[in-house]
Amino acid sequence: MALSEIIINDLVQSQINTAINESDYQLLRQYLLERLPLSSTINSISTYLSEQCNADKQAMLNQVIPLACESQKKEDTEEADKDKQESDDDNALKAHYLNEFNNLTAQLHQLESDCFQRQANIKQASNKLYALQVNLTQVNSDMYSLDRQSLHSSYPQKHVHSHHSHTQVYPHINPDNHLLQNALNRLINEYKTLTYLISTTNNIITEENQILNKSRQEKKQIEEHLVTMKHQIEIELPHKEEQRALRNQERINRDNARKAYDPNLLQLSPKNFAALKQKIEIKGQKLDNKQKQLMDTALELSYPMYLTQLEHALQQTTYSLQMTFNEKQALKLILGMMKNFMEMSKKENIIINSLNETRTNLYALQKELEENTLKLQHHATTEPKRVQANKELTDATTQLQLESKSAGHYRKNALYAALFGTACGLLSAGLINTLIISPLFFAVPGAFAMLGVISLTIAIIVHFQKAAHDVQIEQNNQQIHNNEKALMNQWKSAYDLSVIIIPNLKMQISQTENQSAQIEQQLLEQQNAMSQLFNKAQNVSSNNGESYIFFKSTEEKMSPFPSAPSMDDEIQDQPPSYGSF
């Protein structure tokens, strides 16, 4: 049976029933008091699950390995076909390269020959050009000499006008001048001929250079192409052939391994073998996890199911329990106590979770109280500083207001003085112009004008001082307003902290501490009750089990176990969320 098909509850129940039938009173009693998974049952289940897990792993191997081998065989066939096609393509490409290589080599030789011939032609033309330029220089020198002779002649000189296409000679009667003119005409014709030959030679050199450069560029391209083809022929294609040969040999080796006994899976390529190994590891890990999950479930179910099945066995006659009546009664009594013990254990876990939650809540409240206390201390520290700052700003503002008011009076008086000086200056100037008085009085208008200028300057300076004071007063008032607003918020926050928040937190902390103490006491009582119950179960034996039953009161028979005190409703409402105590 595969692990995925195992119903672990049925398996645990079956193994427990077997253990009950095969165990005597002492062993069954031991199982009850141990409160642990039944070792014989767990060992049997563990062995069974291990066997099934190994069987599943083997089945998985029997499935994935043949599939991997078949996939490798198909891959080898496809690879062989691909290599065959690649070999045919490379052979055709190599033949094409060889043919093109020979053609380009011949073309390269022809271009080299042409370049050599062009270079020779250019050199010959350059030499010719040099000789023509030397001759032209000599002709120019001769023409210059004739011109000088003509200028120094005792007879009127001829006027020779030379142009590019026409030379006009004005002959004179003097025979020497006639000879000079003939020589000059000859030189001019020679000059034209040389100029034409130089231009033609330059054109030939330019044309030959253009053809040579074009041939060199074509030669360079052919050489680069030849290098590329040579690399393909001598390196790339042989390397690809070597790779195909290696792959072919590997396929032959895998095929030989496939035909023989192959425990090491040599028929798989390293890549496919690694992929198969990883796949096997993943599937094997899943099976191991499934086995662990089933085993954990079996461990969890073992003891509770043992209690249930033992109770059923003690009540039924179909079980072949080999024990006396007293032993059965003792087992029933111990069984009842242990069932009650398990219920009390669940209740203990609830109490522990509630206690953990209460302690966590208490820690959070204490931390919040600490933070708010620090905040209140911060308010107490910063408040006097703000008050002092406001007092200083108020004093500074009062002083600035006095200075601003005084500056206003100074500005007003200065403006009046400037107006008075200007008016008096104008009036005195008019009177002086209309009256005949001493020249000393001409200084009076200037004095009044100077008074007006000085007064106006003072008024402007005082005006700017007053404006600066007014701006500073406005800034101080705004800062005072901001500080007062911050103080109000600070006072409100401090009031809330000291009167509402901190007292409430302290009250909650006190309540939580009391609640935690109550839960701790309840847990202690629960654990004491469980300890007493377990001790009582340990003291039950087949010798005193019967008398214990018949001599106890009816109430004790119905519930012979001490129960833990009930939790308060407030505590029971606490949702468990934290770890064990």
**Coil, strand or helix: which one is 263?**
coil
* pLDDT attached to residue 78: 95
pLDDT band at 35 (very low <50, low <70, confident <90, very high): confident
Greatest mean pLDDT range, 251-255, 315-319, 547-551, 552-556: 251-255
Tens of pLDDT, residues 222-239: 989 999 998 999 999 999
Q: Taking the CB of residue 576, how many other CB atoms lie within 10 A of it?
A: 14
CA diameter of the chain: 185
Residue indicated by tokens 């599939």: 67
What gap in Å lies between CA 179 and CA 386, rounded to an integer? 122
**Topology adopted by domain 325-572:** Helix Hairpins (1.10.287)
pLDDT of residue 187: 86
Mean pLDDT of the chain: 80
% of residues, the chain, pLDDT over 90: 38
- Mean pLDDT for 52-79 is 94
Most confident of 346-360, 478-492, 493-507: 346-360
Cβ atoms of residues 290 and 67 within 8 Å: no
Kindly report, residue by residue over 18-29, the tens digit of the pLDDT.
888 888 889 999
Q: What is the mean pLDDT of residues 126-148?
A: 87
Residue 159, pLDDT score: 44
Confidence (pLDDT) at 396: 72
Give span(s): CATH 1.10.287, the chain: 92-259, 325-572
> What per-residue confidence (pLDDT) applies to 373?
86
- 161 bridge partner residues: 168
Question: Do residues 140 and 188 make contact, with C-beta atoms less than 8 angstroms apart?
Answer: no
CA triple 339-342-347, angle to 5 deg? 130
- 568-576: Cβ within 8 A, 24+ apart: 568/518, 570/515, 571/351, 571/354, 571/515, 571/518, 571/519, 571/522, 572/350, 572/354, 574/353, 574/354, 574/357, 574/358, 575/357, 576/349, 576/350, 576/352, 576/353, 576/354, 576/356, 576/357
Q: And the tokens for 568? A: 């308060």
pLDDT at residue 208 is higher than 70: yes
Give dist(CA 4, CA 52) in Å, integer. Answer: 10
pLDDT, one tens digit per residue, over 91-114 is: 999 999 999 989 989 988 988 888
pLDDT attached to residue 185: 86
Q: Which residues contact 518 (CB under 8 A, 6 or more apart)?
A: 568, 571
Considering the domain 92-259, what is its CATH architecture?
A: Orthogonal Bundle (1.10)
- At residue 561, the pLDDT reads 38
In the structure, what pLDDT confidence band is assigned to residue 333 with cuts at 50, 70 and 90?
very high
Give the CA dihedral 482, 488, 494, 496, nearest 10 degrees: -130
CA-CA distance, 227 to 212, in Å (whole number)?
22
Q: What is the pLDDT of residue 495?
A: 73
Contact 20, 314 (CB under 8 A): no
Which pLDDT value is given to residue 443? 61
Give the pLDDT confidence score for residue 142 in this predicted structure: 85
For 373, residues 6+ apart whose C-beta sits below 8 A from its C-beta are 502
pTM higher than the cut 0.85: no
Nearest to 132 by CA among 41, 199, 184: 199
Distance CA 360, CA 516 (A): 10
Q: How many CA atoms lie within 13 A of 494 on its CB side?
A: 14
